[in-house]
Amino acid sequence: MKWLFRLLLALLTTAACTTALADARVIVKLRGQVDGLRQAQAVERTHSLAQQLGVALAHHGQPAPGMLAIRASGIATAELLARLANDSTVEFAVEDRLRKARAVPNDPLYASQWYLQSTQLSAIDAEGAWDIVTGDGSIVVAVLDTGIRPDHPDLVPSLVPGYDFITDAALAGDADGRDANPTDVGDFVDAAALNDPDLQAICNTALQLQNSSWHGTRVAGVLAAAGNNSSGIAGVSWNTRIQPVRVLGKCGGFDSDIIAAMRWAGGLSVLGVDDNPTPARIINLSLGGEGACTAAYTQVIEELRANNVLVVSSAGNETGPVESPANCASTLAVGGLRHIGTKVGYSSLGQEVDISAPAGNCVNTTLPCLFPIDTTTNTGTTSPGADTYSDGNAPNIGTSFSAPQAAGVAALMLTANPALGPDDLTARIMSSARPFPQDPTIPTCPVTATGTDNIGQCNCTTITCGAGMLDAHAAVAAAAAPVAAISAPATADAGATVTLDAAPSVAMAGRTIVAWAWSIVSAPAGASLTSADAERTGLQLPVEGSYVVRVTVTDSAGASDEAVHSLTVSAAAPPPTTSEPTGSSGGGGGGTAGWLLPLLLLVAWPWLHGKPAGRGHDPKEIPCDSVDCRTRN
């Protein structure tokens, strides 16, 4: 009987492993491949990889130029990644993970939108920012999420055309793959979906019964619901345009779809999809999952940064480390705060967080919740119902709703000063943040409280929760300052004088730059500036080394900004040497060799014009001075 038990156990284990192995997904970057491949070429490259690895691979898309989204059967993801790592044609291979929305939501009217006001310590004071700007229709923010309810009256005025990037029809729940319709049809999972083999293969353990969240509609409302329209709620940036991009379905969304959507939203090309006619300046990602930032996300975020696009991402709701893609460099990662400014219990934390904002918390253990993040939503539990607003009886909480507050503030800042780039926006949001308060009854992060009524809470520090609490008013005021920039070479030779030009600096509309102040931050001894207070100056480079200079520009309203530039200076090249001696100091033979050349010419003279005397003359020989002539003879 023991052998029978072991046999059955082995068969069950094998069956379980086979099921687990059926859904391996990876993203592969081909070495040296920077351009997009045509569909047939991409399929052929996948087929070639399959032959090299001896594994059955299926092509699933091309999320970025040179990247292939691949499915595999009969092999574990870790094993497939290991084999791909040893392939010389592969630059990197990462798991194509399933990402999820950050929270389950709910909303009401402005009076209950405490997070936009200034009555609570962590509230962002959007009212102060609105005294300066309320948003601009030329600024587009892409919301990569579950899609949107396109008829919600508080969102209709703000929408621009979006796209549905979910490749798997079962995951999308709309009976098709990618298309130009980003409508949220509902991400519910009912009994039928729970037993759908296609959905089981995609979601695995993530497949659980749930109602539709209308998550993208909720995020969009926090960001840019129409304001001052005598209806509903107000978004952070009233007049900013929202671009809905659908990437999350019934159990989340895959990295390959999210990465392709990020590229499209930011104005970069995606194979098989028409270019975005209204590219976004800001991309909001209220989604994420465990694990480190992958090379695939790093590449696309840097591409977007180079294209002047800011990526804003929520830190996560797991109390632990910051999740991906918020933990990627160059994103603006947003953590979550309670109404009193301490870290909300569920918010992830760590040094990757750049700023923190209200995420919603209840305080009380019974409804209504006291401090939810109220926003636009829908009444449908599965398919869409009536458009409405959430409230404290169905609380909307999570770092999903901290991120769009930061994205909305960034949109207000671009309204004030469109010249701001993604690095400028991040730097000014962080520099204008308010300091975190301290609650003596809870520990300091990263240590978190363990009580039943305060679990996960802690006092924020700048190492664990970012630079401080998001301040919309101060950030918009900071945005009004000019943007300093320096045009100058990055390398030069010692002994030269290079020109440093601050002309690329930009002041906001209605202001001009009126003053420049140059200084040397660090340089070898002897370095100097030809002018310290002009738009253009010269930097003298006496010796090789590293030189760092700074310019501070001031505009007509008295606001200022600074930029720093670094130069690497090489040793001056030695003067060219001559191969012929001159005078008595000529080459290695000393000063007495000047007579040698005339003497040799005198002795050789007879041979240059015929045979020397005393030698017989051969009539076939033709006296000749040229190489060609001698060769002929």
SS3 assignment, position 265: helix
CB-CB neighbours of 330 under 10 Å: 16
* Cα 617 from chain centre: 88
Which tokens is 139 given?
A: 């600024």
Give, for 310, the enclosing helix (H) or strand (E): strand 310-314
Q: What is the largest CA-CA distance in the chain?
A: 130
Which tokens is 134 given?
A: 């309320």
- Residue 553 to residue 627: CA distance in whole angstroms: 70
* 313, 400, 432, 505: the active-site residue: 400
* 107, 145, 187, 555: the active-site residue: 145
Task: For residue 500, count CB atoms less than 10 angstroms from its CB and return exposed for 0-12, middle for 13-18, buried for 19 or more.
Answer: buried
SS3 assignment, position 17: helix
SS3 content of the chain, % helix, strand, coil (to 5): 25, 20, 50
| Whether the Cβ atoms of residue 27 and residue 93 lie closer than 8 Å to each other | yes
| Whether the Cβ atoms of residue 376 and residue 216 lie closer than 8 Å to each other | no
- Residue 250 to residue 202: CA distance in whole angstroms: 10
Residue with tokens 């040799």: 600
| Whether the Cβ atoms of residue 400 and residue 326 lie closer than 8 Å to each other | no
CB-CB neighbours of 107 under 10 Å: 30
- Quick check: is 473 catalytic? no
- Quick check: is 626 catalytic? no
* Neighbouring-strand partners of residue 166: none
- Residue 617, amino acid: H
| 512 contact partners, CB below 8 Å, separation of at least 6 | 555, 556
- Quick check: is 617 catalytic? no
* Neighbouring-strand partners of residue 348: none
Residue with tokens 């977007």: 304
- Residue 590 to residue 269: CA distance in whole angstroms: 70
DSSP state of 574: P
Per-residue DSSP letters for 379-435?
--SSS---EEE--TTS---SGGGTHHHHHHHHHHHHHH-TT--HHHHHHHHHHTPBP
Which tokens is 182 given?
A: 């980003």
Closest CA to 103 of 372, 468, 370: 372
* 59, 60, 152, 215: the active-site residue: 215
| Whether the Cβ atoms of residue 422 and residue 308 lie closer than 8 Å to each other | yes
Residue with tokens 């909303």: 107
User: Three-state SS across 458-505?
Assistant: EECCCCCCCCCECCHHHHHHHHCCCECCCECCCEEECCCEEEEECCCC
Taking the alpha carbons of 318, 323, 329, 331 in that order, is the dihedral positive or negative? negative
User: Three-state SS across 179-238?
Assistant: ECCCECCCCCECHHHHCCHHHHHHHHHHCCCECCCCHHHHHHHHHHCCCCCCCCCCCCCC
Q: Which strands, in side-by-side order, build the sheet including 536-540?
A: 497-501, 536-540, 528-529
Catalytic residues: 145, 215, 400
